[in-house]
Amino acid sequence: MRLLPHPAMEDVELTEVLRALSDPIRLEVVVRLATDGETTCGKLGEDLGIHKSTASHHLRTLRESGLVFTKQDGRLKYMSLRRDELDDRFPGLLDAILSAARQDTRAGAHA
């Protein structure tokens, strides 16, 4: 059960967080993490129908931006949202984005 390097929350920049969330796949990943709790890299790749290296790339982006936390357990890497820390750093931000994303999805994709 190892931990991986993560940026300290005070070093997390708002523009980096917003950039990470501006990709539809990464936004969907964050919504799923918020809804279903933690998941693994492989499961995400399957669920979203993308190559595993692409999933790895997005998860790295999310980790480096400060949004997700990665915990290694055996061969698996579990990703989770750094929800409390983010709420502390940017109060209300994650909630607003999550509810906007959920509403956006429910309303149907505006092609």
Q: Which parts of this chain interact with a second copy (CB under 8 A)?
A: 10-11, 13-16, 18-19, 21-24, 27, 90-93, 95-97, 99-101, 103-104, 110
Q: Where are the beta strands (DSSP E) in 8-107?
A: 39-40, 68-73, 76-81
Number of residues that this document lists for the chain: 111
Q: Which does 58 bind (CB under 5 to 8 A by kind): DNA, a second copy, none?
A: DNA
Q: Which does 14 bind (CB under 5 to 8 A by kind): DNA, a second copy, none?
A: a second copy
**Location of structure tokens 């790749």:** 45
Per-residue burial over 46-68, b = 16 or more CB atoms within 10 Å of its CB, e = otherwise: eeeeeeeeebbebbebbbebbbb
Cβ distance to a second copy smaller for residue 73 or 84: 84
Cβ pair 83, 91 in contact under 8 A: no
Q: Does 37 contact DNA by CB under 7 A?
A: no
Q: Does 56 contact DNA by CB under 7 A?
A: yes
* Residues forming the site for DNA (CB under 7 A): 2, 19, 23, 25, 40-43, 50-61, 70, 72, 74-77
